[in-house]
Amino acid sequence: MSVAISGSPGTGKTTLCSLLREQYSVLQLRDLAEQFDCLGQVDPNDDSAPIDIHTLSEKLEFKSSEVTFVDGHLSHFLEVDAIVLLRCNPQFLRERLAEREYSEQKITANVEWEMVSGTWSEIHEFEISVPVLEIDTTHSPVEEILQTVVQWVDDGCPSRNQKEQDSPIIDWL
């Protein structure tokens, strides 16, 4: 089983994955992009390198019989069996990103993306139909988030009912 750990920058993906790594295989999206030659040059405006996620998705095959998690804010575009979507209240997200010393432009872009449920919009727009577990990480201890994810995976990643899937559980607006 392959599970994407996705969400806006600063929502806790890498922190969660550092704990998941103790029990599971965890892959970094950026490393996969490098491995499959899908990583572009660093953009000096925002210090990030674009990932050709669609080409990566076509090239990548999960062959392991183990549960594998993929850490990355675009990982929901990969051919995975399930998605864990981490969310954070935009006010607190702004603080987290400022601590990383992101530029004001990059902070604002990511906070706005989270505010309008950008990743959910992509999941619906591209008709990604795998089970999604949405978790608010704003005030939850990472150990509690870990337990929730592990239990969900152990339960076979149950889908929510159709009514819940039609709109996000978390709505910052």
Q: What is the pLDDT of residues 102-158, one digit of tens each?
A: 999 999 999 999 999 999 999 999 999 999 999 999 999 999 999 999 999 999 999
Architecture of domain 2-165: 3-Layer(aba) Sandwich (3.40)
Q: What is the 3-state secondary structure (H, E, C) of the chain?
A: CEEEEEECCCCCHHHHHHHHCCCCEEEEHHHHHHHCCCECCCECCCCECCECHHHHHHHCCCCCCCCEEEECCCHHHCCCCEEEEEECCHHHHHHHHHHCCCCHHHHHHHHHHHHCCHHHHHHHHCCCCCCEEEEECCCCCHHHHHHHHHHHHHCCCCCCCHHHHCCCCCCCC
58 — pLDDT class (breaks 50, 70, 90): very high
